[in-house]
Amino acid sequence: GDDVGAPVALTGFVRFELGEGVDKGEEADFAAEVAAAVSGS
């Protein structure tokens, strides 16, 4: 529905933020959580 754009934009923003200064281990774990949340919605 109309909500699709928001999670996609948020995911892109989160990935950008993670790439800027989060430890790779945390990044991978958090990215997996985000992907699961987006897929679940």
| pLDDT the model gives residue 27 | 65
pLDDT above 70 (res 12): no
Find the mean pLDDT for residues 5-15: 66
Which helix (H) or strand (E) segment holds residue 23: the answer is none
Query: In whole numbers, what is the pLDDT of the chain averaged over residues?
Result: 68
What pTM did the predictor assign? 0.33
* Residue 39 CB neighbours (<10 A): 8
How much of the chain, in percent, has pLDDT values that exceed 90?
Answer: 0
Count CB atoms within 10 A of the CB of residue 18: 17
What's the rounded mean pLDDT across residues 15-26?
Answer: 59
* pLDDT at 34 (0 to 100): 83
User: What totals of helices (H) and strands (E) does the chain contain, helices first?
Assistant: 2, 0
